[in-house]
Amino acid sequence: MSLTPKDKDTVKAFWAKVSDRVDDIGADALNRMLMVYPQTKTYFAHWKDLSPGSAPVRKHGKTIMSGVSDAVSKIDDLTTGLLNLSELHAFTLRVDPANFKILAHNILVVLAIMFPIDFTPEIHVSMDKFLSALALALSEKYR
Amino acid sequence: MVEWTEQERSIINNIFSNLDYDDIGPKALARCLIVYPWTQRYFASFGNLYNADAIKTNPNIATHGTKVLHGLDRAVKNLDNIKATYAELSVLHSEKLHVDPDNFKLLADCLTIVIAAKLGNAFTPEIQATFQKFLAVVVSALGRQYH
């Protein structure tokens, strides 16, 4: 299920459209993940405040989304482009890769909420494929 | 036994009593067939599914989407006994329709996204959590009688 040229164009075009709301997307997606999948909170036990809209959650949502934006720019070779991030997740953060899927789902839900007309099924499938490919590149160094 | 708080019951009932089945059902099923194209395997007799536009305008898919969404009504009315409520439907999906139960989750995810698009910010994280919990119970019940 690799990204076709059409997928890449679709993702780049859609991302350009949503790019000025990227921080809000990140914060909302992270909020939803922590609330809808409480087991994900186990990775953030070191934060004082996990409530929606809290400073650590907003900041981290921004960090994650700038990673996703970066991945869009490296869409032609995600494995190489995300090597450092993969090492970080594999050796330092050690996030179970199942969680990438969970966060991806919440990003898609937020996109549907914020862009109900633009987030068509055609764009949805390309974005879903892209986030899956991103997750795969991120898991590259795990074992 | 699944435990539901009063708030969760209220949220679920609210969503379904305000639902436009003829709009959401078709959209959810069409999205599933487009985003997860392998699910089209169950709809070979439905006519033209050749591309996204064909799927979106296919009247058989639309009718079926509404039907599937109404299928959730019995779960809403029997929250405390979804497993028993869907025992027969589960057997049907396994023995007659031969649907891989993994597909239930795919449709559930598409339904979540279609409802999110419809409700916008009213689809709060709390409401999303409750709705996804409900769908997870339904999905589990539908897969229960497979052997």
CATH of the domain at A47: 1.10.490.10
CATH number of the structural domain spanning residue B26: 1.10.490.10
Nearest to A112 among B117, B126, B129 (CB): B117
The pLDDT score that the predictor gives to residue B1 is 80
Of B29, B37, B88, which is closest to residue B63 (Cα–Cα)?
A: B29
In this prediction, residues A84-113 reach a mean pLDDT of 96
| Of A35, A105, A121, Cβ closest to residue B109 | A105
Verify whether the Cβ–Cβ distance A122 to B116 is below 8 Å: no
| Binary contact (B128, A124; C-beta < 8 A) | no
Would you tell me the crossing angle of helices A22-36 and A98-114 to the nearest 10 degrees? 120
Answer yes or no: is B29 within a domain: yes
Ramachandran angles phi, psi of A111, nearest 5°? -60, -40
Does residue B24 lie in a domain region? yes
In this model, does residue A1 exceed pLDDT 90?
Answer: no
For chain A, what is the domain count?
A: 1
Q: How far, in Å, are A83, A114, A124, A132 from residue A118 at the CA level?
A: 32, 9, 10, 21
pLDDT at B141: 97
Residue span of the structural domain in which A36 resides:
5-139
Among A109-113, B96-100, B131-135, name the one with the lowest average pLDDT: B96-100
Q: Which positions 66-95 of B are in contact with A (Cβ < 8 Å)?
A: none
Q: Which residue has the tokens 């033209």?
A: B48
Chain B nearest-CA distance from A32, in A, is 5
Residue B84 CA: distances (Å) to CA of B25, B74, B87, B103, B145: 24, 11, 5, 21, 10
Residue B1 within any structural domain of the chain: no
Report pLDDT digits (tens) over B38-67. 999 999 999 999 999 999 999 999 999 999
For residue A94, what are the contacts with CB-CB under 8 A and spacing of at least 6?
none
> What is the rounded CA–CA span in Å between residue A50 and residue A68?
22
CA distance B61 to chain A (A): 15
- Is B17 within the bounds of a domain? yes
Instruction: Show the domain range for B98.
Output: 6-143
The answer for A 10-69 residues in CB contact with B (under 8 A) is 31-32, 35-36, 52
- Find the mean pLDDT for residues A21-47: 94
Number of domains in chain B: 1
Q: What angle do CA B34, B38, B39 make, to 5 degrees?
A: 75
Question: How sure is the predictor about B23, in pLDDT bands with cuts at 50, 70 and 90?
Answer: very high
Q: Which residue of B has its CA nearest to A102?
A: B109
Percent of chain B whose pLDDT exceeds 70: 100
Quick one: pLDDT at residue B75?
Answer: 97
Contact B110, A119 (CB under 8 A): no
What is the average pLDDT value for chain B, to the nearest integer?
96
- Our CA-based measurement puts residue A84 at a distance from the nearest CA of chain B, in whole angstroms, of 30
B88-91 — which CB contacts under 8 Å span 24+ positions? B89/B142, B90/B141, B90/B142, B90/B143, B90/B144, B90/B145, B90/B146, B91/B145
Its pTM stands at 0.93
Quickly state the pLDDT bin for A53 (edges 50, 70, 90): confident
Is B92 inside any structural domain? Answer: yes
Q: What is the mean pLDDT of residues A32-37?
A: 96
- Place A52 in a pLDDT band, splitting at 50, 70 and 90: confident
